Structures are given as structure tokens and as C-alpha cells.
A and B are shown apart, each in its own frame.
Chain A
Amino acid sequence: MKGVTFRDAAKEAGLKSHAGKKAIKPEYGKRLPDEKGIRFKGSVDLDEQFKEFEPNSNRWDYGVGLNDGKEFAVWIEMHPASSLEDVKLVLKKLKWLQSKLNSPGFERLLELTDAAEKKGVRAYHWIYKGRAKFRVGGQEEVLLAKVGMNLPGRGLRVRR
């Protein structure tokens, strides 16, 4: 585990990774602000890479490698947060992502994902654009909690 980097783990899974946040579309750049003591080490665009082979799957958007002295991975889905249907779709995408992470070749990415959870960082993040229509304590939050996710936020916040 020691010394495993996100970019090495992505390569092992057959994914094309980019330095820092470069895999993230520029329009979403501001949604991933820098946090003190945490560096973006690499990123992958899952949606783009699996589009050709799984055009009809509910594909998750991005993976990001972060380092606060030790490398870990978080997974980011950019999606509107307008209705219960959005929640259901994101849950399908999460299922797809977790299926990938449990596939052969993805072991190290899964280890980096677990490393995030172990340090109290949520591994799966839903970031929305526009207006959020979910309230705290609502059905949407309950559904997400049952799969270990928080309500969507406007941007990535690693530290809670």
C-alpha cells in the first residue's frame, strides 16, 4: 500500500490519467478548490473513457487522486440535483463505479478509495450545478445515506 500513487493505480486499471485536475472539464475546475495541505495528484475521466465500450451504461464521471502526506482517491459525479430521479440515476452510476472498483485490475484504486474512508474523507461526491432542490433530512438524503453518500454539494470539500 505504501507508496502507491493514484496515477500508478489508474495505469494498472488500464485508465488514462492526467496530472493534477487536468482530466476534469474546465467548466468544473472551480468546483474542485484547493484545500490547505491537500494536493491534487492525478485525475481520470471515467465517463469519457468508457463511453465507447459502454454507451448505454450509467457511467460515473471522475476519479481524483489526492495527497495530504499520503495518497487517497475520491470519486466525483457532476450531476443536477433537481429531483428524486436525479438521486436514482446517481445511485445507478455509483453502482456502476463500485462494480468497476471491484473488478480485476482496479485493486489499487480500491485501496486508495478505502484509504480516503479510513481517514474520514467521503470517497464518493456528488457535485451539482444550478439550484439544489433537496433538503436536509429529506427522502433524497436518506437514500444517499444508505449507500454512504452525503447530499450533493456545490463543490468538492475533502475535509469535513
Chain B
Amino acid sequence: MAGRKKSKAGDRFRVRNLGVVSDAKLRLTDLTVLVGPQAGGKSVFLQTLKLAADRDQIVGFFKRQNAAFNGDPKSFLDGYYGRGMAGMLEGGPTISWKKGEWRGLEDLAKSGAPKSSPKERLFYIPAQRVNSLSSGASRTFETFNFGDPYVLRYFAHQLHVLLQNDFGTTPRVFPSDDHMNDTLRGPITEHIFGGARLFYEPSDFTMRLTLRADGLSEALPFNAWSTGQREFAPLLLGLYWLCPPGDRARRGSIERVVIEEPELGLHPRAVSAFLLTVLDLMERGYKVIISTHSVAVMDFVWALGSIQECGGTEADVRGIFKLPSNEAASGIARSALSKKCSVYFFDRNKPVQDISSLDPGSEDEAVSLWGDLNGFARLSTSAVVDVVSREERRRDASA
């Protein structure tokens, strides 16, 4: 169901023998969604994609942070993926990126640092993002321990820079006239912050994120927020980083965005508010890669694919989000109609499967159950069908 287009070589990424991922061959379309059970290899795959896209920039950044791996690939991989992850090398993992030949992960990890300053191509919003803030205060790279994943440490560093630069003198973070239009702000205000406003301001002599709500005499400290609000705040800041104020559509040289488990702590309505921001990212020309356990995300991909397949209009896309007809909303929706989506199922120790059709009538349950996200729903309804049939038989017999 999800739209398809001819893949370019530059859109392909393939890994073999990477931990529990025996073989993964992906086309990175405008929106690529990864689903699968816990410990199915989605995160290690995505971190490897980041490493393939930005290896030189990562090595350079580690070096600026005084990391000294001395060409030892195991130390580098422990520093990059997280302590203990270098054990993956025993499986002989290899990757193929863009038009390149197969290359061992070990080679990627032991090559020397670049001489020039390479550009960063992929922005990564990790699942552990709530740890990028400490009681609402930003954290720098070196406040983490060696062995904490690089993608978390680097994301925290980027949020720290953003907060220092953009909100040092303008304390209101959300809603902000400089970031996002009304179409995107409205659903976030309604479904995530419940009308409260997000500030970056001194609290206990430290600059922290706080929430201010009508009727409360003081700002709410970070740890008093709802789980969803705590999870969403760093995600929101990551989106701000990607969408700079002014006329620039994108940040620097960034082409791709990885967002892990955007649904953490969020009600499906809040997930839909987030998905609107994904449409905005795609309209800006970013390619977005999401890993998720959310049926709401899959509902969206399925609906968008169906609308595209049936020749639907921008009004149909707006209908998914109950958006009014205005220039901004119609623009985002119209852009979405031209975007291609793909979905991949990561199951432990099995080749990764392309389930982009999301066909509910497919004989292949990986496809019809959307990478088993609907497996429990299927079991539940089957149990009801069984009990209803049994009850009907009992009634017939006693009639």
C-alpha cells in the first residue's frame, strides 16, 4: 500500500551479520518505518546507518572531545554503540552503503581520523532522548560516561547548543513564533501540553525547561510533568534544531533524520500531532526514518498509501488529522501526496522483510499484521469470534 518508486543507489543501505540482524536490505524512501519486537536489531541498524553516513564527522567529534581510541576498533565501537557492543564484531558484520562495495564494520571503526571537517548528513533523535536532559537542564557530551551511546551523547550536545543559542535571551520555547506554524503548533498545544507553555529559564540557579500553566502559581519542574511531556520535550527541541527559524528549510547539510520510538509516553492523539511534524520535515526535503511500536504510526502510513493509491486529494490527507483548509495545512497535505513510504519488519535472527504493502488481506501475516503490531489485536478478536460461535451453537442446541 505504501507508495513505491524506483530506488536510487544512494537510497540503499544493507547490513549483514550485525548482531541479531542477519540480513537487512533497505531502500530509504521519503519516509521509512522500521517495526519489530524489542531487541530485534532496529536500533543497532539505525546507529550503523548513522555511522555509515557520518563516520568521519563522528570520528572527528570524538577526537574534539579528547577521546583516544588509538585505532582500536573495539574501543571505538564500545564508545559509539555502547559498552559491550563491540562483541558484535565476532559475527563479522558487513555493510554496503550507497554505491559502495561491501565493507567490514571493523574497517569502518579502525580507520584514521579525517583531515578536513566533514559535513554531517544524518540527524539522530534516539529513543533514550529523555536522558539528554537532567531535571530539565541540558547536558553536554562529556557529562555522560564512556560507553553511553554516542547518538544519545551527541543529541544531548546538540540540544545544549540549541538551548544556549536560541533560548538564552528568549525564554519561551513553546509555543514560539519563531518555530513551527499554527498548523503544527495547534495539535501539540492541545494534545501534548494541554495549553501549558514551555520555558527555558532559571530555576534553582540553573537554566532549566519548565512548564507554566494557567491557574498554577509557579512553573512546573521537569520531573512533575507527565511522562509524555518529558519524552516529547527533547523530541520537540530536535525538531526545532532541524527546522531553523527564517527562510532556511533545512539545517546545514542534514539530509536524513532518524527518530526512534516517537510515541514514547504519548496518547495516539499526541502521536498524530507528532506525525504532522513528520509531514513538515518531508515537505522541507528531509528523508525521515522512524522506528516504532505504535499502531498509530502504522495507521498513518497505511492511510497515506491508500489515499495515494486511490488518487486521493490533499483534503483526504488533511482528514487524517482533522486539519482545516488553509494554506499551510493544504501545503503540507499536498506535499505528503507525492511522498513515498516504505515499511520494514525486523524480527530477531531473520532477514529483514519489506512489508510496505501493509495489505490487510495478505496471506503473509508479517504483512497483514503489520510486523506483528496487530498480532495481539488478532488474537483478541479471534478469542471473541470463538466464544461468540460457541454461544450461538449453545443457543441453537437449546432452542
- A132-B361 Cα distance, complex, nearest whole Å: 6
Which residues of the other chain, B, contact A147 by a CB distance below 8 angstroms?
388
Bound CA–CA A103/B392 (angstroms) = 15
Whether the pair B393, A137 counts as a contact (CB closer than 8 A) is no
Q: CB within 8 A of B389: which of A134, A142, A148?
A: A148
With known contacts A114-B396, A148-B392, A153-B361, A135–B299 Cβ distance under 8 A: yes
Q: Mark A73-111, 1 if CB is under 8 A from B, else 0.
A: 000000001000000000000000000001000000010
Main secondary structure of the interface of B (DSSP, over half): helix
Indicate if B384 sits at the interface (CB-CB under 8 A). yes
A155 to B359, CA, bound (A): 15
Q: Which of B368, B397, B399 contacts A102 (CB 8 A)?
A: B399
B363 neighbours in A (Cβ, 8 Å) = 154
CA of A142 to CA of B306 in the docked complex: distance in angstroms?
A: 21
Residues of A within 8 A of B390 (CB): 117
B80 within 8 A of A: no
In the complex, the answer to whether A136 meets B389 with C-beta atoms within 8 Å is no
Determine which of B306, B381, B392, B399 lies in contact with A133 in the assembled complex, contact meaning CB atoms within 8 Å. Answer: B306
Decide if A152 is an interface residue (CB 8 Å cutoff): yes
A14→B360 CA distance, assembly (Å): 38
Known contacts A128-B361, A135-B299, A136-B369: does B384 contact A146 (CB below 8 Å)? Answer: yes
Q: Are A136 and B388 within 8 A (Cβ)?
A: no
A150 in the interface (beta carbon within 8 A): yes
> With an 8 A cutoff between CB atoms, is A10 at the interface?
no
A153–B384 Cα distance when bound, in Å, is: 18
Q: Which A residue sits closest to B378, measured CB to CB?
A: A136
Q: Are A145 and B396 in contact (CB under 8 A)?
A: no
Cβ B361 vs Cβ A122 within 8 A: no
Asked if B154 is at the interface of the complex by the 8 Å CB criterion, the answer is no
Give the chain A neighbours of B295 by CB distance below 8 A.
137
The one of A110, A136, A144 that contacts B360, using a Cβ cutoff of 8 Å? A136
Q: Name the one of A110, A133, A136 contacting B374, with C-beta atoms under 8 angstroms.
A: A136
**In the complex, chain A residues whose CB is within 8 Å of the CB of B399:** 102
Q: Do A110 and B389 touch (CB < 8 A)?
A: no
Question: B385 within 8 Å of A by Cβ?
Answer: yes
Cα separation A132 to B306 with both chains bound (whole Å): 10
Whether A118 sits at the interface, judged by CB under 8 Å, is yes
CA gap between A8 and B354 in the complex, in Å: 49
* Chain B residues in 8 Å Cβ range of A136: 360, 368-370, 374, 377-378, 381
Partner of B388, one of A128, A145, A154: A145
Report if A123 contacts B (CB, 8 A).
Answer: yes
Kindly report which residue of chain A lies nearest to residue B306, judged by CB atoms. Answer: A133
State whether A137 and B377 are in contact (beta carbons under 8 Å apart), knowing that A114-B396, A148-B392 are contacts in the complex: yes
B361 touches A117 (CB 8 A): no
Q: Tell whether, in the assembled complex, residue B361 and residue A137 are in contact, meaning their CB atoms are under 8 Å apart.
A: no
Task: Tell me, rounded to whole Å, the shortest Cβ–Cβ distance linking A9 to chain B.
Answer: 15
Contacts of A153 in B (CB 8 A): 361
Smallest distance from the beta carbon of B341 to chain A beta carbons, Å? 15
Please tell me if B302 contacts chain A, counting CB pairs below 8 Å: yes
Separation in Å of the A148 CB from the closest CB of chain B? Answer: 4
A151 touches B388 (CB 8 A): no
Bound form: Cα–Cα A104–B380 in Å: 35
Question: Cβ of A12 < 8 Å from any Cβ of B?
Answer: no
Chain A to chain B: the 3 pairs with minimum beta-carbon distance, closest first: A137-B377, A136-B374, A148-B388
New A-B contacts (5) at CB < 8 Å, excluding given A117-B390, A146-B388: A102-B399, A123-B389, A136-B360, A147-B388, A150-B385
Q: Please list the residues of chain A having a beta carbon within 8 angstroms of any beta carbon in chain B.
A: 81, 102, 110, 114, 117-118, 122-123, 128, 131-137, 141-142, 144-154
A-B contact pairs, 13 of them (CB 8 A): A117-B392, A128-B361, A133-B360, A136-B368, A136-B370, A137-B295, A137-B377, A145-B381, A145-B382, A147-B388, A149-B385, A150-B381, A151-B361
Interface residues of B (CB under 8 A from A): 295, 299, 302, 306, 309, 358-361, 363, 368-370, 374, 377-378, 380-382, 384-385, 388-390, 392-393, 396-397, 399
